[in-house]
Structure 1
């Protein structure tokens, strides 16, 4: 089988084809435009069985990787770090060109069996985009409220309450009588920030509605889990992506950062907390675990059993996160199978 490695850039890409023995069969450099996928397919049609390897298929290589996947080609994603290591080991020097990089990407694809296959984008990408937009809006709202608090502290003795809304801030500003030019400027800036706060609240409300509709269109059963609403379901589905890329629940737990890492030495067997994995998913699992611990739920009963086993609160919470990770994986897998066309 021919393996074609692609080193993508913003305005151009280089593709190198390797035969099964690892020898370069051909190479090509193309500008990145609307016709690049068709040009690549026309160039590669001379070879029968072939596989494409794209460096950074979720970054600069997303466009060409998705175009090839939609065309029915077999495409795998090669992390840039793996390609860099392969280049150093294969060439024995630090010289770097686009052709060498593309060949290194192909070498990684030939020798590795654990690369993720690129699938055409589906509804999970919509949920990820909506979830990321919500994070941006929420972060901007926090910054606006903090700026507003700082101004109100200078305009009003004692400042304003912590959970400040646009209506409350507007009412406070109506009672302010600016005595100096700086205070007048502070008041005007505060009025502008209140308008920004209203705009962000409206955008967050619209985003919440869009997320709820998208989760319903996905026909997800994640919301049946105690502590998971549409917003968290969108975060989990969007960050997980195509669930079939995880062969088992253990692979998914490792990706979420809930699987402990073995750190044994000699006769001593021990494990340590994993700081790796997708931190967005890990945080979502943490929120679900805290919700279940604080309310009457099966998760609370599990947490209390772990405490009765002399586990610390942190250890019991981590065990609950691991259990929730398995539950979420089962739901995601069942939802994926339910969406498949019946024979």
Structure 2
């Protein structure tokens, strides 16, 4: 039976005398490899399946023929395993996001799809893997896609501007001198209407290239503006309180929403969100030393968004400035003050997200 889009899969449940099995899946672009373990950790099945709706259905039927399936560990639930994750969840299976096996384990046991799938199943069976995957079906997923488009357009625009200036530097004086000293918008406007005045191939090609690059930059400008306008509208519908918080703009708000996902209830609390953003302190005590260090893990884009918000508040917010002065007199460094402020912002942002996203998912 094929799994139609938008329909729940029809699964034949295991008989009462069959025991529980735990699935582990190593996901790839074209083929997923699944391994099933019983509760004693014995491998009871291993099978590859195509990455199609019918393949997901076949995987579920195969797994239910081996026993009762209530848990599954899946690698890459936000990429290659996204479709399988949705299929398993719609069938009532509790999906756990599993990281790749560590390098030490791979050195000992080797590397293959079956080995990785078995490691995923064992991580779930032992309780080592507990992460709940992001839903990926709400407004935050739409924001994630829009931000990919916007960021790539910004990067391409920067490259095109640099290329235009590089071409202009080597241009002849008759082309270069009239364009020197112009602001970027005026430079682009002038370049788009330039026409070759010489039959020399090098000079005419430079003029044509300047026009092409200028039109490309103008097109990317419009693309960035359109994507940012869509992002702003989505953020206002999803978590408008984020934009009301001083120091957080549409881009930073989108980044923080993406870090939390459409289902922030998967996070255990605001401390968990702070750790996700890399703002929680990490113990670094040893012997006679008793201290904490800054976290270098977590979502670095979310960490950067909090950092930008802190810098903005340090410059424009009177309460934040007073806090920084007070902590400086207590002997704290600026680096540690910023870390404390990022931790405070993570706590505040988490409360806003938890108050906003359930409402958004209900509409």
Mapped to 2, the partners of 1:125 and 1:341 lie a distance apart of 15
- Tell me the residue number matched to 1:58: 78
**1:190-240 deviation line (CA, Å, top 9, x unaligned):** 110111011101111111221122113324421121011222211210132
- Tell me the residue number matched to 2:166: 150
Structure 1 residue 154: Cα displacement: 3.3
Once the two structures are superposed, the pairs formed by residues 94-243 of structure 1 within 5 Å of their partners are 94-121=109-136, 122-155=138-171, 156-157=176-177, 160=180, 164-165=184-185, 167-171=186-190, 180-241=200-261, 242-243=263-264
Change (3 A) 1:139 1:220: same
Once the two structures are superposed, the pairs formed by residues 7-22 of structure 1 within 5 Å of their partners are 7-22=26-41
**1:16-54 deviation line (CA, Å, top 9, x unaligned):** 211111112233222222211211222233433521111
The Cα RMSD (Å) is 2.6
Q: Do the aligned partners of 2:100 and 2:116 also contact (CA within 8 Å) in 1? A: no
Match status 1:261 vs 2:282: yes
Structure 1 residue 159: Cα displacement: 6.3
2:313 corresponds to which of 287, 292, 296: 292
**1:44-93 deviation line (CA, Å, top 9, x unaligned):** 334335211112222322221222223332111111135x65566xxxx4
Q: Do the aligned partners of 2:37 and 2:121 also contact (CA within 8 Å) in 1? A: yes
Match status 1:5 vs 2:24: yes
SS of corresponding position for 1:45: helix
SS of corresponding position for 1:18: strand
Change (3 A) 1:150 1:204: same
Structure 1 residue 128: Cα displacement: 1.1
Change (3 A) 1:10 1:296: closer
Match status 1:247 vs 2:268: yes
**1:251-288 deviation line (CA, Å, top 9, x unaligned):** 22121111222211112112222222111101111111
TM-score, reference length from structure 2: 0.83
Q: Do the aligned partners of 2:239 and 2:353 also contact (CA within 8 Å) in 1? A: no
SS of corresponding position for 2:117: helix
Match status 1:302 vs 2:317: no
Change (3 A) 1:219 1:260: closer
Structure 1 residue 150: Cα displacement: 1.8
Mapped to 1, the partners of 2:28 and 2:158 lie a distance apart of 36
Structure 1 residue 323: Cα displacement: 1.3
Structure 1 residue 170: Cα displacement: 2.4
- Structure 1: unaligned runs, 5 residues or longer: none
Q: Do the aligned partners of 2:228 and 2:251 also contact (CA within 8 Å) in 1? A: yes
Higher alpha-carbon deviation: 153-162 or 231-240: 153-162
- Tell me the residue number matched to 2:11: none
Mapped to 2, the partners of 1:256 and 1:236 lie a distance apart of 9
Q: Do the aligned partners of 1:86 and 1:107 also contact (CA within 8 Å) in 2? A: no
Q: Do the aligned partners of 1:152 and 1:160 also contact (CA within 8 Å) in 2? A: no
Q: Do the aligned partners of 1:226 and 1:297 also contact (CA within 8 Å) in 2? A: no
The alignment of Structure 1 onto Structure 2 pairs a total of residues equal to 336
Mapped to 1, the partners of 2:127 and 2:212 lie a distance apart of 55
